[in-house]
């Protein structure tokens, strides 16, 4: 039997909004440690990894490890019916082919049960090795989202270049070129407005803006985003989920465009 | 001659928004008592009944009973041109084939006249007998609208079941089932947040969500909605219009689904 | 070399939004006096004239007169990437076939360079003679925009008639007629809410609402709009740009509808 009660139910709503456009169907894995998901996007280019640790739930009961295949679009439809202040409980009986989402309004005057059919989904769990990154950029998530959106109006790819002074986002397209530089800035009034760069060596990598824009759907989850870059590894775009976990997006750099990398940086 | 001056002109704008999607053309009946309308929706399934009592108007002159056929979409286009704080006057000369809507801004600096052609519409006025209902639910109108909208993302029909403890709204669809229970609650700070159930006997009826969602266009008219249910009668969904009248929507239950009624209530 | 630094960069964003739907490609003319544009709309019916005086820029360097052909849609895409509080600098090297827009955030933590290709555009600079107008109406720009939008839901053209008492906007269409009268009003609390009429002789002219609605895209630039009317001349719809210039739209009256002019004024 499974019963996970999350007082801040809006977090689960935001998690679904962050991944439902990228992933159609996925297995949610539930164990004593937490509630997690790992899935490739539908075109098998990007990887999403979600973790909600058991400590973050008000009540967490998971008698045995269980993997529940869900259609994320349908799950999202149901979670949209929860109020933003509702408590959400995820329930499943052993051996059942359904999962139930229960929503309780703060006053307990409105109680909803949504029951969804589970699916059989081929599991393809990838080990994600711990890695050293050449550069880690921590910046306001809204700023990163704005930059990805802005550059999309000019070109299809973004070159992210990190130096000690800052991080540069560049693109080029039919109508011209664009370069946006965000300077390292640690002396701001509010910590969530800081741009912090940890750099072991300079790095400059090219990515498809389409995916970057999908990743920024995680913006409502956190004020800050962390972008980890290494020339041999997929970039990791991470949004922390309130003390209880994270959502991480992985995307391989575009190799074939390596030669063009320096072009927009004129 | 007809001259009806309504200081709170926004009420008339909201009335039009509430019914224009349901009804294309209708006769507005004007008598010494008030300004009223009764019309079937375009597919002849639901009935709308509107009353604005003469006492609610600042000035009300109606020399003789008159029935004015109007295209509600066109009337809505004109009323949309009134500001939310405007005073609206409806004017018609005896025997004229037009009606004039006059809008006065609060400062009297802007005066608009919109003249619309009247139509000949076959009148089919139905007597609506007073009836006893098995159950009457009074609840926040925004809550009812939210429930109808939410359930529409899962299924096509809603089963409304009333017991002493509360009212349950249920649906089922391809992706699963949903049950939403609102408990009776009379001890709230604000009277418009109360959910009050008057029940003579339990009742459980099925309705098309499409129509229920149309009816909830009346939500801006009132904080509360009243739902009157009886197994042999159409449901009545009523929104009061500020001390001066009401808009009532009638819809027959779906008989053929009677057997399924209990299914989503598992 | 050209370098124009505009502290209130949002003005340039608003200018682009005001003209980009009307004009596709145009030459921006830069001289010691200022930054200006004159262009016909794509169907060669309306004329746009823009002036930003050099004094309005924080820094203004223009070594020699230069005319830069730009695609306004592309320029708008780039300027949309500027924040509303950003400082915008327009830069061009002598003989270069590109122009650069530089955006600096108020904290200087984010610096963007957008480089756009210039185009060769046939120049057709018209002399616009100074003229005497029969009537000049100054009114709140939001009110004028609202009236043009409202009348568009009824008809295709607007008759603007000015008398000493006020200005009347009229239209007629399939569903009926509309007249909106705005009275002269100089005794308001806020000067930007005044409606001021200077009239030498009464005038009544017909215009296509489609163009009037395009012109009202200038509304965010100024609280007031000035409408100058003469029976022999194109109307001028002018929005002042903060102390530093203006945007003016010119449109010829519809002659063929002269006979109908008085009809909606019944």
Full DSSP string of chain B: -EEEEESSTHHHHHHHHHHTTT-SEEEEEE-SSEEEEEEE-TTSSEEEEEEEEGGGSSEEEESS-EEEEEEHHHHHHHHTTS-TT-EEEEEE-TT-SEEEEEEE-TTSSEEEEEEEE-B-----PPP------SEEEEEEHHHHHHHHHHHHTT-SEEEEEE-SSEEEEEEEETTEEEEEEEE-B---SSGGG-BEEEESS-EEEEEEHHHHHHHGGGGGG-SEEEEEE-TTS-EEEEEEETTTEEEEEEE---STTGGGGGGGG-
Q: How far apart are CA B74 and CA C36, in angstroms?
A: 44
C113 to each of A37, A208, B54, C28, C66, how far by Cα in Å?
39, 20, 65, 19, 21
Helix axes C10-19, C72-79, angle to 10 degrees: 150
pLDDT surpassing 50 at residue B49: yes
Q: Do B81 and C179 touch (CB under 8 A)?
A: no
Residues B154 and B234 in one domain: yes
How much is the mean pLDDT over chain B?
93
* B202 neighbors B163 (Cβ within 8 angstroms): yes
| Nearest 10 degrees: Cα torsion A75, A77, A83, A88 | -10
pLDDT surpassing 70 at residue B265: no
Please check whether residue C81 touches A, CB under 8 A. Answer: yes
Please check whether residue A105 touches B, CB under 8 A. Answer: no
Answer whether residue B96 is part of any domain.
yes
In terms of Cβ atoms closer than 10 Å to its own Cβ (0-12, 13-18, 19+), residue C25 is middle
Q: Where are the alpha helices (DSSP H) in chain A?
A: 10-19, 72-79, 141-152, 209-215
Contacts of A209 in chain C (CB under 8 A): none
pLDDT at A124: 73
pLDDT at B128: 83
pLDDT at C108: 93
Contacts of C112 in chain A (CB under 8 A): 178-181
Please check whether residue A78 touches B, CB under 8 A. Answer: yes
Nearest Cβ partner for B175 among A77, A80, A113? A77
Q: Do B183 and A110 touch (CB under 8 A)?
A: yes
Helix axes B10-19, B72-79, angle to 10 degrees: 150
Contacts of A98 in chain B (CB under 8 A): 176
pLDDT at A260: 47
Nearest Cβ partner for A175 among C74, C109, C111? C74
Buried b (16+ CB within 10 A) or exposed e, B59-83: ebebeeebbbbbbbebbbbbbebbb
Residue of B nearest to A76 (CA): B153
Give me the long-range contacts of C126-130 (CB less than 8 A, separation at least 24). Answer: C126/C38, C126/C47, C128/C38, C128/C47, C128/C49, C128/C250
pLDDT at B94: 87
Residues C90 and C183 in one domain: no
Residues B110 and B139 in one domain: no
Q: Do B178 and A112 touch (CB under 8 A)?
A: yes
Residues A75 and A165 in one domain: no
Quick one: pLDDT band at residue A80, thresholds 50, 70, 90?
very high
Answer whether residue C130 is part of any domain.
no
How many CB atoms neighbour CB C34 within 10 A? 20
A9 to each of A56, A79, A117, B245, how far by Cα in Å?
11, 9, 21, 40
Residue of A nearest to C101 (CA): A178
Q: Do A178 and C81 touch (CB under 8 A)?
A: yes
Residues B105 and B166 in one domain: no
Q: Do B175 and A112 touch (CB under 8 A)?
A: no
* Domain with C185 in it: 135-251
Q: How far apart are CA B60 and CA B53, in angstroms?
A: 10
B167 to each of B138, B162, B178, how far by Cα in Å?
10, 5, 14
Nearest Cβ partner for A175 among C77, C80, C112? C77
Give the end of a domain, one of A117, A149, A179: A117
ipTM of the complex: 0.90
Give the end of a domain, one of B117, B143, B161: B117
Angle (CA) B15 B20 B26, round 5°: 95
Residues A42 and A107 in one domain: yes
pLDDT at B256: 58
Contacts of A143 in chain C (CB under 8 A): 110
Residues C157 and C241 in one domain: yes
Answer whether residue A123 is part of any domain.
no
Q: How far apart are CA A252 and CA B193, in angstroms?
A: 52
Nearest Cβ partner for B116 among C143, C176, C182? C176
DSSP 8-state class, residue A223: S
Residues C111 and C146 in one domain: no
* B163 neighbors B137 (Cβ within 8 angstroms): no
Answer whether residue B219 is part of any domain.
yes
pLDDT tens column, A20-55: 999 999 999 999 999 999 999 988 899 999 999 999
Q: What is the maximum span of chain B, computed from C-alpha positions, in angstroms?
A: 62
pLDDT tens column, B80-125: 999 999 999 999 998 899 999 999 999 999 999 999 999 999 877 7
- Give the list of residues 6+ apart from residue B236 with CB closer than 8 angstroms, or none: B133, B226, B227, B228, B248, B249, B250
* A98 neighbors A38 (Cβ within 8 angstroms): no
Q: Do A143 and C110 touch (CB under 8 A)?
A: yes
As given in the structure block, the two tokens for residue A260 are 């063009």
Number of H helices, E strands in chain C: 4, 18
B contact test, residue of A99, A113, A116, A117 with most B CBs within 10 A: A113
Domain count, chain A: 2
Residues B106 and B199 in one domain: no
Q: What is the pTM for the complete model shown? A: 0.92
pLDDT surpassing 90 at residue B164: no
| B–C interface: beta-carbon pairs under 8 A | 51
Q: B257 φ, ψ to 5°?
A: -100, 10
| Nearest 10 degrees: Cα torsion A167, A172, A177, A178 | -30
What is the pLDDT tens value at each position of chain C, 266 positions in all? Answer: 899 999 999 999 999 999 999 999 999 999 999 999 999 998 889 999 999 999 999 999 999 999 999 999 999 999 999 999 999 999 999 889 999 999 999 999 999 999 999 999 987 777 888 889 999 999 999 999 999 999 999 999 999 999 988 999 999 999 999 999 999 988 778 888 899 999 999 999 999 999 999 999 999 999 999 999 999 899 999 999 998 999 999 999 998 544 444 444 43
Which of A236, A238, A233 lies closest to A255 in space, CA to CA?
A: A233
Give the mean model confidence (pLDDT) for residues A195-201: 95
B contact test, residue of C152, C178, C179, C197 with most B CBs within 10 A: C178
Answer whether residue A265 is part of any domain.
no
Contacts of C180 in chain B (CB under 8 A): 81, 110-112
Q: Which subunits count as partners of chain B given 3+ CB pairs below 8 Å? A: A, C
Give the end of a domain, one of C62, C84, C117: C117
| A–C interface: beta-carbon pairs under 8 A | 51
pLDDT surpassing 60 at residue A257: no
Stronger pLDDT, B188 or C45, i.e. the higher one = C45
Residues C139 and C242 in one domain: yes
CATH assignment at residue A82: 3.70.10.10
C150, containing H or E segment: helix C141-152
Nearest Cβ partner for A112 among B175, B176, B180? B180
Residue of B nearest to A97 (CA): B176
Q: How far apart are CA B116 and CA C156, in angstroms?
A: 16
- Give the list of residues 6+ apart from residue A127 with CB closer than 8 angstroms, or none: none
Give the mean model confidence (pLDDT) for residues A153-172: 96
C239, containing H or E segment: strand C235-241
Please check whether residue C175 touches B, CB under 8 A. Answer: yes
DSSP 8-state class, residue A146: H
Dihedral sign computed on CA atoms, order C205, C209, C212, C216:
positive
A contact test, residue of B137, B150, B195 with most A CBs within 10 A: B150
- Give the list of residues 6+ apart from residue A71 with CB closer than 8 angstroms, or none: A24, A25, A119, B175
As given in the structure block, the two tokens for residue C194 are 């005044």
Answer whether residue A76 is part of any domain.
yes
Q: Do C176 and B74 touch (CB under 8 A)?
A: yes
Give how far B255 is from chain A: nearest CA, Å.
25
pLDDT surpassing 70 at residue A109: yes
Residues A239 and A140 in one domain: yes
Residues A156 and A99 in one domain: no
Residue of C nearest to B110 (CA): C182
């Amino acid at each position: 039997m499974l019963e996970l009660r999350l007082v801040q139910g809006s977090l689960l709503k935001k998690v679904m909004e962050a991944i439902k456009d990228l992933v159609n169907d996925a297995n949610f894995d539930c164990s004593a440690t937490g509630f997690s998901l790992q899935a490739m996007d539908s075109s098998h280019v990007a990887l999403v990894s979600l973790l909600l640790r058991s400590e973050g739930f008000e009540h967490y009961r998971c008698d045995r490890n269980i993997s529940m295949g869900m259609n994320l679009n349908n799950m999202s439809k149901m979670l949209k019916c929860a109020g933003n202040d509702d408590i959400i409980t995820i329930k499943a009986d052993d051996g059942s082919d359904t999962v139930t989402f229960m929503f309780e309004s703060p006053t307990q005057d409105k109680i909803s049960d949504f029951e969804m059919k589970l699916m059989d989904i081929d599991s393809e769990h990838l080990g994600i090795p711990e890695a050293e990154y050449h550069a880690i950029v921590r910046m306001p998530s809204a700023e990163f989202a704005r930059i990805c959106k802005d550059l999309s109006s000019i070109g299809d790819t973004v070159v992210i270049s990190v130096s000690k002074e800052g991080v540069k986002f560049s693109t080029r397209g039919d109508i011209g070129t664009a370069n946006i530089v965000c300077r390292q800035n640690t002396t701001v009034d509010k910590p969530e407005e800081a741009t912090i760069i940890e750099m072991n060596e300079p790095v400059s990598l090219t990515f498809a803006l389409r995916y970057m824009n999908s990743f920024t759907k995680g913006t409502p989850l956190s004020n800050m985003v962390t972008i980890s870059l290494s020339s041999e590894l997929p970039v990791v775009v991470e949004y922390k989920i309130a003390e209880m976990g994270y959502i991480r997006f992985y995307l391989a750099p575009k190799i074939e465009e390596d030669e063009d990398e320096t072009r927009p940086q004129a």
